Amino acid sequence: MTTIGLTYDLRSEYLAMGYSMDETAEFDQDETIVAIETALQHLGFETDRIGNAGQLMKRLVQGCRWSLVFNIAEGLYGFGREALVPSMLDAYQIPYTFSDPMVMALTLHKAMTKHVLRDLGIPTPDFFLVETTDDIEKVRLPFPLFAKPVSEGTGKGISSISKINNHTELFVVCNRLLSEFNQPVLLEKFLPGREFTVGLFKTGKEAEAIGAMEIFLKNERDSDAYSLQNKEHYESFVEYRLANDSTAEKAKKIALAAWRGLGCRDAGRIDLRVDDQGVPNFIEVNPLAGIRPVHSDLCILCNFLGISYIEMIAVIVDSAMMRTKKKMRYENQKGLGNYKLAS
């Protein structure tokens, strides 16, 4: 039987080590690991919980190997933190799900991602990177602006003050974010229109935008920002709707072009917001999108589309295996069937 290893950063483990709730906001809940493991076992695989990058390193040194690693490890420090586990697995020629180190490092840095996509002709709001307090004086973008840390996810650093209306707010917000997150601040022209997240499956020519979900914020305090607070309390503060109109279709096309242009793999999400001309603009890409059942945006979208959690995991694994020399074939047997090594 084929064994799939699981790499992840478990929030409860880091909290037990003394890390804060904010520091671990991007890490996974126990229920997510259980859900992935259960889905893989339902598909006919053996599973092996590996854990985080340090735990993976120990296992590799001990000689452990896997047919595939299902990787959702976020990492803890630096712009390359999401690239660490993929880099280690590449070094040992072990195939894994989701994007490679180059994509992971690039897309974690939102400004560098926007440079690449702008060069590809994909619409994205004008931006400026504030690396030090001296850079604040150099900002020439018109107000209102939107500010966030350049390499955080899950809405970290985004709140009611993220929308900046004047120079006084610009200095206050930039200084606060520089101090709190110890990384550059990305400033973007604020886009006033609708907000979408687009789900994507598969890789390269096979990639497809499976659907667009519109995000409506009900939290008056963070009404202009899909913040960490909004995400963690989405049942009260957020309404999601499947979108199929012409603007949503444009968002799907732009998202798919960005996904392919960046070289993202297997599954993920791209967030977009509509500008004052009615054009959906790329905001950011999530090549390592959360897959916490029910709670995560990609899972909510899949639920709207009638795609079960097990089916989503099956698509991810199939896409990953088809990229490797150990190609798998899908045999439609019991339920969703079993993946087996191709002969």
Q: 220: pLDDT confidence band, cut at 50, 70 and 90?
A: low
Mean pLDDT to the nearest integer, 10-33: 91
Give the closest residue to 191 by CA, choosing from 233, 230, 225, 157: 225
Is the per-residue pLDDT at 342 higher than 50?
no
Mean pLDDT score across all residues of the chain: 90
Q: Count CA within 13 A, CB hemisphere, residue 185.
A: 28
Report all structural domains of the chain as residue ranges with CATH numbers, in order of start: 3-97+330-341 (3.40.50.20), 125-189 (3.30.1490.20), 192-319 (3.30.470.20)
- Return the pLDDT at 329: 45
Q: 226 falls in which pLDDT band (50, 70, 90)?
A: low
The angle formed by the CA atoms of residues 177, 181 and 182, to the nearest 5 degrees, is 100
165: its two tokens = 């209306």
Question: Which has more confidence, 342 or 124?
Answer: 124
Name the residue among 75, 66, 76 with its Cα closest to residue 97. Answer: 66
Report d(CA 69, CA 86) in Å as an integer: 9
Predicted local confidence at residue 225, as pLDDT:
59
**Poorest-pLDDT segment among 168-172, 237-241, 281-285:** 237-241
The pLDDT value given to residue 119: 97
Q: What distances in angstroms separate CA 253 from CA 76, 98, 118, 312, one per listed residue?
A: 33, 21, 15, 21
The pLDDT of residue 219 is 63
Burial class (CB in 10 A: 0-12, 13-18, 19+), 213: buried
pLDDT digits (tens, 9 = 90+) for 199-208: 999 999 999 9
Render pLDDT for 245-281 as a digit per residue (tens, 0 to 9): 999 999 999 999 999 999 999 999 999 999 999 999 9
